[in-house]
Amino acid sequence: MQNESASDRDIQRSGRRLNVEIKARCSDLAPVRDALHAMESRLVGTDHQVDTYFDVPVGRLKLREGTIENSLIHYVRPDQEGPKTSDVLLVRLSPDPALKDVLARANGIKVVVDKQREIHFVDNVKVHLDLVEGLGQFLEIEAIDADGSRGEAELEAQCKQFMQAFGVQEADLVDQSYSDLLIQK
């Protein structure tokens, strides 16, 4: 890629990326599916994911074990409703139960989130239709800048555009992670 800065290359190599995302309660996912179909989204599939969150001093650290996605993810994100910026460091992994044991021994387990996640993509925007055990149904919109070419303002605009397309209301927005919601329950 021409005009690529050293920091952009470092972001790509490290697995670091900028996301702007929202989470919303969604009692009926069918209209969202219909809108995604009209947008000609790419359905990746439905993933049974178990996210184990570990006690860490800064941000959140989770090990995602799924049938499609397997990753170790550290992120820092404010708890606020509406579009919020996340600083994400993600490492894709092959499933390995020993890794969870090492992380649990070193940090302690905070909470485990078990969910069924339907994953769609529209360009750089990832849409999750989630059924979270013990919490219910949710919609997540994640506008991703994986290579440093889009910037926060564009990602936030994309997030708001998808919120409007899916009919997300302010009252539906959730300001916390599933882990925090489960801990509070």
1: number of Cβ within 10 Å: 9
User: Is 1 domain-assigned?
Assistant: no
User: Is 180 domain-assigned?
Assistant: yes
Which structural domain, as residue segments, surrounds residue 15?
6-184
Residues above pLDDT 70, as percent of the chain: 92
- The vertex-126 CA angle with 25 and 32, nearest 5°, equals 45
Instruction: Decide: 67 and 47 in contact? Cβ < 8 Å.
Output: yes
Q: Are strands 125-132 and 109-122 parallel, antiparallel or unpaired?
A: antiparallel
Indicate whether 53 pLDDT > 70.
yes
User: Is 156 domain-assigned?
Assistant: yes
pTM over 0.75: yes
Read off the pLDDT of residues 3-29 as tens digits, 9 standing for 90 and up: 333 333 333 334 677 899 999 999 999
User: Is 167 domain-assigned?
Assistant: yes
Structurally, the chain folds into a number of domains equal to 1
- Picking from 174, 89, 160, 92, the residue whose alpha carbon sits closest to that of residue 125 is 160
Domain containing residue 65: CATH number: 2.40.320.10
User: Is 93 domain-assigned?
Assistant: yes
Read off the pLDDT of residues 87-146 as tens digits, 9 standing for 90 and up: 889 999 998 989 999 999 999 999 999 999 999 999 999 999 999 999 999 999 999 998
Give the HSE-up count for residue 59: Cα atoms under 13 Å, Cβ half-sphere: 12
Indicate whether 183 pLDDT > 80.
yes
Mean pLDDT of the chain: 90
d(CA 3, CA 119): 32
